[in-house]
A and B are shown apart, each in its own frame.
Chain A
Amino acid sequence: MLKIEDLHVSVEGKEILKGINLEIGKGEVHAIMGPNGSGKSTLSYILAGRDGYNITQGRVLFNGKDLLEMSVEERAWAGVFLAFQYPVEVPGVSNIYFLKAALNGIRKFNGLSELDAMDFIGMVKGKMKDLDMDEKFLYRAVNEGFSGGEKKRNEVLQMSVLEPTLCVLDETDSGLDIDALQIVAEGINRLRDPERSFVLITHYQRLLDYIKPDFVHVLAHGRVVKSGGPELALELEEQGYAWVDQKVAS
């Protein structure tokens, strides 16, 4: 599904990613862990197509197509979804309007007709129930005045409504208390599907207690320094990131 080859990225002349190689198959869940400043968020922004990054080398293939050639919207239409670490507020635009515009944008691209308003509301309400979200969220402005946990839950709601094929979650666990973490994790698990892949970017092992990854990669200083199975996350948790630095040094 996703193939990252020798990806080098710099920002204002400073190299952040120094040759990333990563292959993510259909239906797989990959966790990317690493200390602050290791380039985790940069990687998620590169996949989503954010401006301001200079890709100096390498390529990214998404279902065989050159992802880096596609615009931000095109990637979204093709099924790339980024759950933001800091979801953005859009004052005056109701959540339901936003969701509908997003879904219809994607449906239009895929040659589907716009969803009927009643069907749409019914579908969204069902998904909100699963995430233990009050319906009044639909009529509040996008993320405006939401608590940290509400924002993250809203990201997962959007993900479940838009049904992307590649979900990149950037520190979705940060700022969540244990109950909210559980609900969010359940929401994500519900979306697991043989046709859908996940990239979970996280600092901590605790998210992985709820969402079991197939692979864990450790990112440090702009490189994947270690890859392994779920046990790697536990090892990291025990030893700390200093352990990674030692590995890199040796």
Chain B
Amino acid sequence: MAASNENLKDLIGQEYKDGFVTDIESESFPPGLNEDVIRAISAKKDEPEFLLEWRLEAYRHWLTMEHPEWAFVEFPKIDFQEISYYSAPKSMADGPKSLDEVDPELISTYNKLGIPLEEQMRLAGVAVDAVFDSVSVATTFKDKLYEAGVIFCSFSEAVKEHPELIKQYLGTVVSQYDNFYAALNAAVFSDGSFVYIPKGVRCPMELSTYFRINAANTGQFERTLIIADEGSHVSYLEGCTAPMRDENQLHAAVVELVILKDAEIKYSTVQNWYPGDENGVGGIYNFVTKRAECREENAKVSWTQVETGSAITWKYPSVVLKGDNSIGEFYSVALTNNYQQADTGTKMIHYGKNTSSTIISKGISAGHGQNTYRGLVKIGRKAENARNYTQCDSLLMGDQCGAHTFPYIETKNPSATIEHEASTSKISEDQLFYCMQRGISAEDAVSMIVNGFCKEVFKELPMEFAVEAQALLGISLEGSVG
């Protein structure tokens, strides 16, 4: 029925609630990229020589690389000389200070986003590293974590305080040559979070990093490195927002997870970068490389992502299952509305024996949104008895959007068990009418149906995030009722 599409169009018009700009004096590098810029970033951070060399190698390699064109996304060619590669609030010029000294303007920014950094207001049981443009402005509960032996700090700080760990693990999961954007990140990354959980330690609280892009015309290139040593356990969350601007901004991050024997990392993302307006103007290009390596036996990693923001999302949180009996999981909800595009999924690379992986992907397309699932399940020659289960569902709202699925399976071992299920459905006029006839408003009905569709993924999120994710989907689908 023609009327239903009109209704849906009204229903899914959305307001972006985190689009404000913080008025703060920043120090930004002029746009442009060359070896001097990289040296300058490294000097700003007072980095050891080995890291500068690592950056320069990455940059030189990047210069030889072609921009990848295989993703199912469309955007104008990026001029990498037009981007500023470093921006930091001036008040942060002397490096990270104690929380009491952080610019109140910054603290109020995070308060507005619902991430209180002040002592008395801190989220109980969650330690936060707040990254603003190119630098980490504060990390909460650091001391308490340190008592448990857990290192949780900004990447820059880790380089200074724990260079041996950085040297040992940096680039061992995603090398500085890995792909175009990973190489770019390796050359110019400015900050990010670092986590080390020592042997046998169960991290006493949730760790989280909150990324905020504020300055215009800058790129954010952060790098996260998490190491879970033998028998340890950690749950880590990341959230992201940015102001509303008419220009597109680039966010090219790299996340590396190292999981050793019997250890486990649970990594959750709620990504809500500015998605652009209803005509597709502005928004963040979210081009990210995320990879975990289950390096030893019985290691386990689980990626959960809720991707509602960004003009373009292009990322595949992956798992390399090296250790025998290791486990990889990927749970994803990706929503594209208006003119948003997402090409996301995962890679599960099985090398060890008895390794198993699970992929649950839920794509929601509304407006003119294009949503692509792309996944690779690879079973190596020695991966005896590897198992994978993939379920990949798409939900379409309206008739202008698209859902696409590209599953790749490569297996070199005949003992592998691989299952793949896929479905595509529409929010039907019948469902909406049924809910509304029972007294549930149209908006609540859409949100209920979408949340029902995403249920299997949401139940993987830590409690606080599950609530936030549900609310976020509600907002992303909010609008006037036709």
Q: Does A associate with B in a complex?
A: yes
A87 in contact with B437 given A51-B4, A92-B452 (CB within 8 Å)? no
In residues 420-434 of chain B, which contact A (Cβ within 8 Å)? 428-431, 433-434
Does A76 contact B3, Cβ atoms closer than 8 Å?
Answer: no
- Bound together, the chains give a CA A124 to CA B444 distance in angstroms of 22
User: CB-CB < 8 A to B438: which residues of A?
Assistant: 76, 98, 102, 105, 158, 162
List, in ascending order, chain B residues with CB within 8 A of A73's CB.
436, 439-442
Q: Is the CB of B431 within 8 A of A88?
A: yes
Chain A positions within 8 Å of B481 at CB level: 71
> Is B434 a contact of A91 with CB atoms below 8 Å?
no
Instruction: State how many angstroms separate the Cβ of A45 from the closest Cβ of chain B.
Output: 9
The answer to whether A90 touches B434 (Cβ under 8 A) is yes
Which residues of the other chain, B, contact A9 by a CB distance below 8 angstroms?
Answer: none
A105 B452 Cβ-Cβ under 8 A? no
**Cross-chain contact of A92 among B428, B435, B436, B451 (Cβ < 8 A):** B451
The one of B7, B433, B449 in contact with A93, judged by C-beta atoms closer than 8 angstroms, is: B449
Interface size on A, residues (CB 8 A): 32
Give bound CA distance, A141 to B449, whole Å.
Answer: 11
**Residue among B438, B440, B481 with the most chain A CB within 10 A?**
B438
Contact B434 A105 (CB under 8 A): no
Q: State which of B431, B436, B449 has its C-beta within 8 Å of the C-beta of A72.
A: B436
Of B7, B431, B441, the residue contacting A90 (CB under 8 A) is B431
B437 touches which of A48, A89, A90 (Cβ 8 Å): A48
A52 lies within 8 A of B453 (CB): no
Chain B proximity of A205: nearest CB distance (Å) = 27
Contact B439 A162 (CB under 8 A): yes
* In the bound complex, CA of A90 to CA of B429 (Å): 12
Kindly state whether residue B463 has any CB partner on chain A within 8 Å.
Answer: no
For B444, the chain A residues whose CB sits under 8 A away are: 101, 105
User: Would you call A65 an interface residue if the criterion is a C-beta within 8 Å of the partner chain's C-beta atoms?
Assistant: no
What is the interface size of chain B, counting residues whose CB is below 8 A from a CB of the partner? Answer: 29
How far is B434's CA from A81's CA once the two chains are assembled, in angstroms?
10
Q: Are B429 and A51 in contact (CB under 8 A)?
A: yes
Please measure, in the bound complex, the distance between the C-alpha atom of A51 and the C-alpha atom of B429, giving whole angstroms: 9
Is there contact, CB below 8 Å, between B439 and A88? no
Judge whether A198 is part of the interface by a CB distance below 8 angstroms: no
Across-interface contacts of B431 in A (CB, < 8 A): 88-90
Residue of A nearest to B452 (CB): A92
Q: Per-residue 0/1 for A88-114: is the Cβ within 8 Å of any B Cβ (1 yes, 0 no)?
A: 111111000110011101100100000
Whether A93 contacts B452 in the complex (CB less than 8 A), given A51-B1, A51-B3, A52-B3, comes out as yes
**B454 contacts A92, C-beta separation under 8 Å:** yes
Name the residue of chain B whose CB is nearest to the CB of A79: B439
A162 to B448: give the CA distance in the assembly, Å.
19
Is A120 at the interface (CB under 8 A from chain B)? no
| B160 interfacial contact with A, CB 8 Å | no
1/0 per position for A37-69, CB-CB distance to B under 8 A? 000000000001111100000000000000000
Return chain A residues, CB-CB under 8 Å to B428. Answer: 88
List, in ascending order, chain B residues with CB within 8 A of A102's CB. 435, 438-440
Q: Bound complex: CA of A52 vs CA of B432, how far in Å?
A: 14
In the complex with contacts A51-B3, A88-B430, A76-B453 CB distance below 8 A: no
Q: Tell me if A210 counts as interface (CB < 8 A to partner B).
A: no
Residue in contact with A51 in the complex, picked from B7, B434, B448, CB distance below 8 Å: B7
Which residues of chain B have C-beta atoms less than 8 A from A162's C-beta? Answer: 438-439
- Residue in contact with B448 in the complex, picked from A75, A77, A82, A90, CB distance below 8 Å: A90
Q: Which chain B positions have C-beta within 8 A of A106?
A: 439
Neighbouring A residues of B440 by C-beta, 8 Å: 73, 98, 101-102, 105
Bound together, the chains give a CA A225 to CA B75 distance in angstroms of: 64
Partner of A105, one of B430, B441, B449, B455: B441
A93 CA / B458 CA spacing, docked (Å): 13
Complex contacts, A84 vs chain B, CB 8 Å: 434
- Expressed in whole angstroms, the minimum distance between the Cβ of B105 and any Cβ of chain A is 39
Q: A71-B436, A101-B440 are in contact. List 12 more A-B contacts (CB 8 A).
A: A49-B437, A52-B1, A71-B481, A75-B437, A82-B437, A88-B431, A88-B433, A92-B451, A92-B454, A93-B449, A97-B448, A105-B439
A-B contact pairs, 20 of them (CB 8 A): A48-B433, A52-B1, A52-B429, A71-B436, A72-B436, A73-B439, A77-B439, A88-B434, A91-B453, A92-B453, A92-B454, A93-B448, A93-B452, A98-B438, A98-B448, A101-B440, A102-B440, A103-B439, A105-B438, A109-B439
8 nearest interchain CB pairs? A92-B452, A93-B452, A102-B438, A105-B439, A76-B439, A88-B434, A92-B455, A72-B436
Residues of B bordering A, CB below 8 Å: 1-4, 7, 428-431, 433-442, 444, 448-449, 451-456, 481
